[in-house]
Amino acid sequence: MGLLEYARLLAQRGWLLLLCGLVAAGGMWFISQRQTPVYRSTYQVLIEPRQTSQGLAAGQRSLLGSVVTELHTTAVAAEIIEELGMGISPAALRGGTRIGAIPDQMMIRIEVDDTSGEFANIVAHQWGQKLIQLRNRQNEGLNEADRIIASPQDTPRYVLYRPRTLINMALGGLVGLLVGAVIVFALEYRRHRTITSRYDVDGLPLLAAVPRE
């Protein structure tokens, strides 16, 4: 098909593409409005080793990895649940919490998901406090040069994690346009086949009628 044919299709059946896109986007909006909002709180804690030799890249990754392993445990989760009076299991709390390392910034990032943004902030802050307490206990009896200090950065802040209504609508609209394009080309193919079939039939020579005996 040439450009003129595509232009003709767009002029004749563009409304169908638009309709499919709008219906799909509207459907995603409806689904998003019925979802329970989930908020994500982020809290960052700076890890400061006193020895400068631990500032090497490999040493930083190893150090931060061990900190994450020490913090994201069932025992620590159980302590947080007891202190905050949460009615969930440690596994559930760990499942809604992500703890990761940012080696180039020597930072531990704590992310907590909850249906309440304010409560997500509280839980994230509690995880951070557990990290600070853990480092303080491990620093006891160590020389100043051997200590690793955990320092909170700012305060926990939450944002809406899902549903992301605008993104969902955009993706739904895109899928709708693709479905509409398939329908348009299927209709055009059917129209073309119908025209071709009629031409073939009309082009056949008529057979002479055979008289009855």
Q: For the full predicted model, state whether its pTM sits above 0.85.
A: no
Q: How confident is the model at residue 40 (pLDDT cuts 50, 70, 90)?
A: very high
E-state strands within 103-140: 107-114
CA within 13 Å, CB half, 79? 13
CATH (residue range 38-162)? 3.30.1890
Q: In the chain, what percentage of residues exceed pLDDT 90?
A: 40
Report the distance separating Cα 180 and Cα 13, nearest Å. 9
pLDDT score recorded for residue 210 = 44
More confident residue, 209 or 75: 75
pLDDT score recorded for residue 202 = 53
> In which residue ranges of the chain is CATH 3.30.1890 found?
38-162
Residue 194 has pLDDT above 80, yes or no: no
Specify the pairing of strand 97-102 against strand 107-114. antiparallel
The mean pLDDT value for 182-191 works out to 81
Torsion sign (Cα): 83, 64, 92, 153: positive
Residue 104 has pLDDT above 70, yes or no: yes
Residue 53 has pLDDT above 90, yes or no: no
pLDDT score recorded for residue 52 = 56
Residue 55 has pLDDT above 70, yes or no: no
120-124, 197-201, 209-213, range with greatest mean pLDDT? 120-124
pLDDT score recorded for residue 213 = 47
pLDDT score recorded for residue 58 = 61
pLDDT score recorded for residue 138 = 86
pLDDT score recorded for residue 190 = 80
